[in-house]
Amino acid sequence: MADDSSRTQPKQPCVQWASTASVETLTARGQLVWRLRRFFNEHNFIEVHTPTICRHTVVDRHIEPVWLSAENLGLSAETAGPARKDSSWFLQTSPEFAMKRLVASGMQAIYQIGPAYRATEVGHKHNIEFTMLEWYRVGDDQAAGIQLLGEVIDAAVDCGQPNVTTYREVFTQKTGLDPVIATATELSAFAGGNLDVDSDWTAEKDEWLNLIFSQLIEPTLGIGRPTVISNYPVNQAALARVSDEDSETAERFELFWNGVELANGYCELTDASELESRNRRVNAQRIEDGHRPLPEDSFLLDAMRAGLPACSGCAVGIDRLVMAALGQDTIDQVMPFPIQRA
């Protein structure tokens, strides 16, 4: 009798074409998105659709856009629009710039659900292309923005209103260090004793704050029930306005659920000159970090110069929200074709 072990084993069928998310998960995801749209329609928001390819993008130290060019888009000098110093275009990391231009154009309450793109971001919570919900409403301050965020999340996943605390309160409670008063030296010493990091990793206080928050504090937030953290340090303002009550903090808020960041919102910066200053500072940091600078001038700045009304806005990662709602561990489990199968 022939030795069965010598036979060639049949090849396993290739499943690269198949969805990484189950039919049941994709159905639940579709229902969640439907509930979001129902909520916004019932609250008199208008759904909008803005370009995912633009000549400008959010200038952020830690977010890298997908770069395009007029040449590979097949654009000529005549078809590309206003002349610029270079021919770079970008897949949008967020619809923020375009949506704020709509607010400056007179729209009062808008939302959008669509794709966003961030280069190099691949992991169990990241995919280069992902789905983002973003909204803006004129007249809302930070408190109203946080209230609306809680209502949106509750409408989507029936989790109740979130707990709310400040960055300073939670940082002090978890570490014993006041993030406003603590020096870079004190923060580095704390990190060195609690994380696998050299104390000379950086001399920048904000980088130590980011590291400690992301590694030690974030995983403990929103366990069982979502938590909103508000009033971030002013150097982490991004596009949020500085608080009138405390010049050391910005009116920025984020929502966490079971240790994962799901949402990022602002009482929006409306001062064009301040945004120009922030863009210059961030680009200097990007260059120091070895990244290309991003365009500092933009159509958003033009809109802000013309007059952006006081408003609050927020972005929610739909994929992560589905993960949290269904108890899934990786983003691949809630989207059909992550980058490895796209």
pLDDT of residue 10: 53
Q: What is the mean pLDDT of the chain?
A: 94
Give the domain extent around 306.
19-162+222-341
Contact of 223 with 159, CB cutoff 8 Å: no
What per-residue confidence (pLDDT) applies to 129?
A: 98
Give a yes or no: residue 167 inside a domain.
Answer: no
244 has pLDDT over 70: yes
Query: And the tokens for 173?
Result: 């409670």
Q: What mean pLDDT comes out for the span 79-108?
A: 90
Answer whether residue 303 is part of any domain. yes
In a domain, 316, yes or no: yes
Per-residue pLDDT, averaged over 87-98, amounts to 96
Given a cut of 80, whether residue 7 has pLDDT beyond it is no
Residue 6 has a pLDDT of 47
What pLDDT, on the 0 to 100 scale, is given for residue 85?
Answer: 61
Which pLDDT does position 286 carry in this prediction? 97
List CB contacts of 138: < 8 A, sequence separation 6 or more. Answer: 103, 108, 109, 309, 310, 311
Banded pLDDT at 137 (limits 50, 70, 90)? very high
Which distant-in-sequence residues (6+ apart) come within 8 Å of 27 by Cβ? Answer: none
Give the rounded distance of the alpha carbon of 146 from its chain centre: 16
- Checking if the pLDDT of 223 tops 80, the result is yes
Which 8-state DSSP code applies to residue 122?
-
Note whether residue 88 is domain-resident: yes
User: Given this model, what pLDDT does residue 83 score?
Assistant: 60
301/14: higher pLDDT: 301
Instruction: Give CA 132 to chain center in angstroms.
Output: 8
Question: In this structure, is residue 195 part of a structural domain?
Answer: no
The span from the CA of 213 to the CA of 202, in Å, is: 15
Confidence of residue 76 (pLDDT cuts 50, 70, 90): confident
Once rounded to an integer, what is the mean pLDDT over residues 37-48?
A: 99
CATH number of the domain to which 78 belongs = 3.30.930.10
The pLDDT value given to residue 12: 53
Can you tell me the mean pLDDT for 2-30? 77
Look at residue 13 in the predicted model and tell me its pLDDT. Answer: 60
> What's the distance, CA 135 to chain centroid?
13
- Would you call 216 helix, strand, or coil by DSSP? helix
Sequence length of the chain is 342
Q: Of 5-19, 76-90, 328-342, give the lowest mean pLDDT range.
A: 5-19
pLDDT at 4 over 60: no
Alpha-carbon gap, residue 196 to 313, rounded angstroms:
36
What does the pLDDT read at residue 77? 76
CB 157 within 8 A of CB 130: no
Per-residue pLDDT of 249-299, as tens digits, reads 999 999 999 999 999 999 999 999 999 999 999 999 999 999 999 999 999
C-alpha closest to that of 255 among 115, 124, 160 = 160
Burial of 19 (0-12, 13-18, 19+ CB in 10 A): middle
| pLDDT single digits (tens) 264-273 | 999 999 999 9
Interval 191-217 mean pLDDT: 92
User: Which of 89-103, 198-212, 218-232 is predicted least confidently?
Assistant: 198-212
* 200 occurs within a structural domain: no
Cβ partners under 8 Å of residue 114, min gap 6: 49, 52, 95, 131, 132
Q: Is residue 91 part of a domain?
A: yes
- DSSP for 1-22? ---GGGSPPPPPPP-TTS-SS-
Reported confidence tier of residue 87, pLDDT bands at 50, 70, 90: confident
Q: Kindly state whether residue 229 falls inside one of the protein's structural domains.
A: yes
Q: Is the pLDDT of residue 1 over 90?
A: no
Q: For residue 74, what is the DSSP state?
A: T
End-to-end CA, the chain: 47
Average pLDDT estimate for 221-231: 97
Number of domains in the chain: 1
Contact 301, 270 (CB under 8 A): no
**Which pLDDT does position 11 carry in this prediction?**
55
